[in-house]
Amino acid sequence: DAGVTQSPTHLIKTRGQQVTLRCSPKSGHDTVSWYQQALGQGPQFIFQYYEEEERQRGNFPDRFSGHQFPNYSSELNVNALLLGDSALYLCASSSRATEQYFGPGTRLTVT
């Protein structure tokens, strides 16, 4: 049974560029949540997708957007990258109100 997968593992981008991160949820899960974890901090909630719609959003600017596909996989897009966007981006999957399980994360470095 495959767990949560994320791609790519690492990414280096330049300020002002755009990036797309991808996530496939655990089998049987239909909800995907995205988090940003800066060094030395706990994960911060970006948004959550269910039934292909953004269901809830954290305190992140509109530069952060996402999408969920019919197979429940999801993408996180970040436009106009800033140095402060450098972080570990985590995808978590769940089903309804069950526990959330994290993927391995994507380490984004903005230079």
Partner 1 sequence: QKEVEQNSGPLSVPEGAIASLNCTYSDRVSQSFFWYRQYSGKSPELIMSIYSNGDKEDGRFTAQLNKASQYVSLLIRDSQPSDSATYLCAVKSGGYNKLIFGAGTRLAVHP
Q: What distance in Å separates the CA atoms of residue 2 and residue 6, rounded to the nearest whole number?
A: 12
Given a contact cutoff of 8 angstroms between Cβ atoms, the answer to whether 67 and 75 are in contact is: yes
Using rule CB under 8 A, residue 24 touches partner 1: no
Q: Collapsing DSSP states into helix, strand and coil, what is residue 71?
A: coil
The contacts of residue 62 (CB under 8 Å, 6+ apart) are none
Given a contact cutoff of 8 angstroms between Cβ atoms, the answer to whether 33 and 72 are in contact is: no
C-alpha gyration radius of the chain: 13
Span from 14-22, 47-55, 63-71, 78-86 in contact with partner 1 (CB under 8 A): 47-55
Using rule CB under 8 A, residue 1 touches partner 1: no
- Give whichever of 14 and 96 is closer to partner 1, judged by the CB atom: 96
Using rule CB under 8 A, residue 60 touches partner 1: no
Using rule CB under 8 A, residue 111 touches partner 1: no
Site for partner 1 in 90-109 (CB under 8 A): 90, 92, 94, 96-105
Residue of 31, 81, 85, 87 that binds partner 1 (CB under 8 A): 31
